[in-house]
């Protein structure tokens, strides 16, 4: 019962984090780090699983990735 309770609490916290990060953005470097690599991030962008914006204008504008989408596709860490 203790384990079931902790899983419920973790799921509740996860949902809360996703809800609270609506409207926040991450940079390209942060998004690459969290999802587990450049290729994976590019694949998620092509599959429209991560919302992003690249403002039009200056040639050096930066990508802005939706934080809740990035966090929902975080690659799990390997067990030690």
Beta-bridged to residue 45, according to DSSP, are none
pLDDT tens digit at each of 80 positions of the chain: 566 668 888 889 999 999 999 999 999 999 999 999 999 999 999 999 999 998 887 778 889 999 999 999 998 877 75
Complete edge-to-edge strand list for the sheet that includes strand 25-26: 25-26, 64-66, 52-53
- The pLDDT value given to residue 54: 87
pTM, full prediction: 0.80
CA dist., res. 78 & res. 28, Å (int)? 23
């Amino acid at each position: 019962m203790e384990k079931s309770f902790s899983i419920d609490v973790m799921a509740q916290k996860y949902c809360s984090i996703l809800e609270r990060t609506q409207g926040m953005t991450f940079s390209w470097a942060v998004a690459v780090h969290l999802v587990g690599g450049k290729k994976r991030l590019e694949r998620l962008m092509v599959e429209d699983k991560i919302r992003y914006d690249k403002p039009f204008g200056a040639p050096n504008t930066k990508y802005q990735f939706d934080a809740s989408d990035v966090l929902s596709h975080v690659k799990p860490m390997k067990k030690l």
